[in-house]
Amino acid sequence: MALLQLSEPGQSTVPHQHRLAAGIDLGTTNSLVATVRSGKAVTLTDDDGEHILPSVVHYREGGVEVGRKAKEGAASDPLNTVVSVKRLIGRGLSDLKTLAGRLPYEFHDVDAAVPRIHTVAGDVSPVEVSSEILKKLVKRAEESLGGQLEGIVITVPAYFDDAQRQATKDAATIAGFKVLRLLNEPTAAAVAYGLDSGSDGVHAIYDLGGGTFDISILRLNRGVFEVLSTGGDSALGGDDFDRLIAEWIMQQAGIREDTDHSTLRHLMQIACKAKEALTDAEVTKIEATLPGGSSWQGELNREQFHQLVDPLIRKTLGPCRRALRDAGLSAEDIEDVVMVGGSTRVPRVRELVGEFFRTEPLVSIDPDRVVAIGAAIQADVLVGNKSDNEMLLLDVNPLSLGIETMGGLVEKIIPRNTTIPVARGQEFTTFKDGQTAMAVHVLQGERELVSDNRSLARFELRGIPPMVAGAARIRVTFSVDADGLLSVEAEEQSSGVKASVEVKPSYGLTDSEVESMLRDSIDHAREDMEARALREQQVEAERVIEALTAALADDGDELLDDSERNTVEAALGELAGVLENGDQSQIKAAIESLEKRCEFYVERRMNSSVRKAMSGHSIEDFE
């Protein structure tokens, strides 16, 4: 007979209609899947009792292997074994070029937007590779729960942009799974500790994995987590601890630095064991086999270990300090520090991080599993297994979204930190007479100028009925769904012509660029303000020149004699000159001077058009 789980009072499901859901931590090196059983979130194991699935996919002719077995293939068949695909997902080819030096794969630039990796089983995209990992995890969950999953929650780094989020969601969709929500990894860790049901406050999530370090500052505000700031180092992790111990052994044992590869690997392994032993023990014995077959024995105590790794741990505190500064906070403002990632098991890490934030870090949940556990709790709520829907966790969009307006300026439509899902619209108009099309350029970022922001998409609204400049009413609507994915629609109100776009995974930025976008906007606030003022003045000048030139062509010959025309044209030329090189106040002055000098012409035009309108009518017609 089927095996049952405890439900909340009144929430028992009818047979064959269990609301099964799972949370997935789709990691760079390792992935996990967790679910809530009888009210308790647990990570699920495979047949061998392993919780962790290495995020490695090995393509062979006629088959795909995921996980530990695939990892074994990484050494023997590196070209067909994809590791760390998370670093590639949602990236365009140009981004990959900067990464590709470190990657063994052959990229096929079939469709420039989505690079493909060449394998014996055909070309695969990063989305497809991620999809294989998800399939493996979902299969494990369905076997463990004895039924089909209704949906999954997948975690992504807080700094993932729209393209990377969309690509992650696509990976689930092509595997046929319903994504209930994408959840920020630090938010998931906070949920695992139940911080979302606590009182409002600011928390730090310290995530030190094998090869990467991330720090996130979250604020809980009426049940909603906002990511205040993020920081980190994409090349710092527990592996570096091992390397330092290995180097220490080499020094002690007199092994030359240029020793062979297998000795190095052997040393890394015993270094890792020594590190783990020192979690509980004060001192550990080390026995290394040297090249040539002899062996070396030694001891490493905690104090020596601390001397070795302290500089590395302190290196993580720099990004912590910066993240605090970005959030405008100091260490005292942090209520809880959640420890994530296997390397936070090292007691010295906990000690120094605790000292830095002046609070005892939260460590009771296995740091390798805490993100998956938070995702599972969220998934359980989203499929409706909680009695009173006590937790409806909302997310916020991390960077402002907007469109380009005249002069290369950005008009923000949805400001950063708006709770999502959200839809906002704004009306725009045409700039020129008879304009029938409008280019919509969608941007992400905090800066004032288009060139300083991230371009997400471009599309054109065509078929606008010809009207004078400023008469058309074009409504641009931005909607961001619960996963932070954006769709933009532009509609001309009188004719109803429409065009829209959804952001597709074709653009990308490096991690550090995404992280620094926020910082830049603060560092460049004044500059940006001045740049905006200048561009606005330039646009105004261009508009004046445009209008005056059109007027001259229209009735200049009729209304002006030669000298008057020269005056107007001189004023025009002056403004055009200042427009090239002048600063904001010079342009403003030039516009004002032009207006003054051409006043007579404007007046004459007005009189002339009034005369034209009235000619042939008697006074009575206007009464």
Beta bridge partners of 216: 205, 230
CA neighbours closer than 13 Å in the CB half-sphere of residue 309: 32
Work out how close the CB of 139 gets to other proteins at its nearest, in angstroms, rounded to a whole number: 10
Whether 185 is a known active-site residue: answer yes
Whether 395 is a known active-site residue: answer no
Work out how close the CB of 100 gets to other proteins at its nearest, in angstroms, rounded to a whole number: 39
Residue 15 engages other proteins in binding (rule: CB under 8 A): yes
Work out how close the CB of 33 gets to other proteins at its nearest, in angstroms, rounded to a whole number: 11
Residue 426 engages other proteins in binding (rule: CB under 8 A): no
Task: Name the phi and psi angles at 165, rounded to 5.
Answer: -70, -45
Residue 8 engages other proteins in binding (rule: CB under 8 A): yes
Work out how close the CB of 525 gets to other proteins at its nearest, in angstroms, rounded to a whole number: 47
Q: Of these, 20, 26, 44, 227, which contacts other proteins (CB under 8 A)?
A: 44
Residue with smaller CB distance to other proteins, 12 or 512: 12
Residues that contact other proteins, how many (by CB under 8 A): 28
What is the C-alpha separation between 374 and 609, in angstroms, rounded?
71
Whether 86 is a known active-site residue: answer yes
The CA-atom distances, in angstroms, between 200 and each of 197, 223, 225, 335, 415 are 9, 8, 9, 10, 22
Q: Using the rule CB under 8 A, give the single segment among 5-13, 368-376, 486-494, 515-523 that binds other proteins.
A: 5-13
Cβ(478)–Cβ(488) under 8 Å?
A: yes
What is the C-alpha separation between 24 and 155, in angstroms, rounded?
6
* HEC sequence for 149-170: CCEEEEEECCCCCHHHHHHHHH
Using a 10 angstrom Cβ sphere, with 0-12 exposed, 13-18 middle and 19 or more buried, the burial of residue 371 is buried
Q: What is the DSSP string of 25-94?
A: EE-SSEEEEEEEETTEEEE---TTS---EE-EEEEETTEEEESHHHHHHHHH-GGGEEE-GGGTTT--HH
Q: Of these, 1, 75, 553, 619, which contacts other proteins (CB under 8 A)?
A: 1
Q: Using the rule CB under 8 A, give the single segment among 39-47, 208-216, 423-431, 457-465 that binds other proteins.
A: 39-47
Residue 40 engages other proteins in binding (rule: CB under 8 A): yes
Cβ(213)–Cβ(207) under 8 Å?
A: yes
Of the candidates 426, 435, 421, 440, the residue with the CA atom closest to the CA atom of residue 499: 440
Q: Using the rule CB under 8 A, give the single segment among 36-44, 326-334, 427-435, 436-444 that binds other proteins.
A: 36-44
Q: Which residue has the tokens 């609070």?
A: 359
Residue 3 engages other proteins in binding (rule: CB under 8 A): yes
Q: Directed axis angle between helix 261-277 and helix 238-253, to 10°? A: 110
Of the candidates 357, 435, 336, 443, the residue with the CA atom closest to the CA atom of residue 400: 443
Work out how close the CB of 46 gets to other proteins at its nearest, in angstroms, rounded to a whole number: 8
Q: Using the rule CB under 8 A, give the single segment among 4-12, 219-227, 236-244, 500-508 that binds other proteins.
A: 4-12
Work out how close the CB of 447 gets to other proteins at its nearest, in angstroms, rounded to a whole number: 47
Cis omega (within 30 of 0) on the bond before 9? Answer: no
Take residue 436 and report the two structure tokens written for it: 């029938």
Considering the candidates 162, 207, 368, 395, report the single residue annotated as catalytic. Answer: 207
Residue 101 engages other proteins in binding (rule: CB under 8 A): no
Residue 62 engages other proteins in binding (rule: CB under 8 A): no
Q: Is 465 helix (H, G, I), strand (E, B) or coil?
A: coil
What is the C-alpha separation between 474 and 491, in angstroms, rounded?
5
Residue with smaller CB distance to other proteins, 351 or 390: 390
Residue 47 engages other proteins in binding (rule: CB under 8 A): yes
Q: Of these, 19, 28, 45, 482, which contacts other proteins (CB under 8 A)?
A: 45
What is the C-alpha separation between 188 and 205, in angstroms, rounded?
10
Residue with smaller CB distance to other proteins, 147 or 347: 147
Considering the candidates 86, 275, 412, 588, report the single residue annotated as catalytic. Answer: 86
Work out how close the CB of 18 gets to other proteins at its nearest, in angstroms, rounded to a whole number: 9
Residue 512 engages other proteins in binding (rule: CB under 8 A): no
Instruction: Give the CA angle between residues 382, 388, 392 to the nearest 5°.
Output: 40
Residue 364 engages other proteins in binding (rule: CB under 8 A): no
Task: Give residues 125-164 in contact with other proteins (rule: CB under 8 A).
Answer: 140, 143-146
Residue 48 engages other proteins in binding (rule: CB under 8 A): no
Work out how close the CB of 445 gets to other proteins at its nearest, in angstroms, rounded to a whole number: 43
What is the C-alpha separation between 12 and 201, in angstroms, rounded?
35
Residue with smaller CB distance to other proteins, 9 or 311: 9
Work out how close the CB of 35 gets to other proteins at its nearest, in angstroms, rounded to a whole number: 11
Whether 25 is a known active-site residue: answer yes
Order of all β-strands in the sheet with 114-119:
107-111, 114-119, 122-124
Spatial CB neighbours of 430, under 8 Å, sequence gap ≥ 6: 438, 464, 467, 469, 470, 471, 472, 474
Using a 10 angstrom Cβ sphere, with 0-12 exposed, 13-18 middle and 19 or more buried, the burial of residue 220 is buried
Residue 553 engages other proteins in binding (rule: CB under 8 A): no
Residue 192 engages other proteins in binding (rule: CB under 8 A): no
Work out how close the CB of 275 gets to other proteins at its nearest, in angstroms, rounded to a whole number: 31
Residue 465 engages other proteins in binding (rule: CB under 8 A): no
Considering the candidates 46, 65, 170, 185, report the single residue annotated as catalytic. Answer: 185
Spatial CB neighbours of 462, under 8 Å, sequence gap ≥ 6: 436, 437, 497, 499
Residue with smaller CB distance to other proteins, 4 or 550: 4
Residue 51 engages other proteins in binding (rule: CB under 8 A): no
Residue 279 engages other proteins in binding (rule: CB under 8 A): no
Residue 46 engages other proteins in binding (rule: CB under 8 A): yes
Residue 10 engages other proteins in binding (rule: CB under 8 A): yes
Residue 5 engages other proteins in binding (rule: CB under 8 A): yes
Q: Of these, 4, 79, 112, 468, which contacts other proteins (CB under 8 A)?
A: 4
Residue 7 engages other proteins in binding (rule: CB under 8 A): yes
Work out how close the CB of 186 gets to other proteins at its nearest, in angstroms, rounded to a whole number: 23
What is the C-alpha separation between 148 and 145, in angstroms, rounded?
8
User: Given the DSSP bridges, would you call strands 151-156 and 179-184 parallel, antiparallel or unpaired?
Assistant: parallel
Which residues carry out catalysis? 25, 86, 185, 207
Contact residues: other proteins, CB under 8 A: 1-12, 14-16, 37-40, 44-47, 140, 143-146
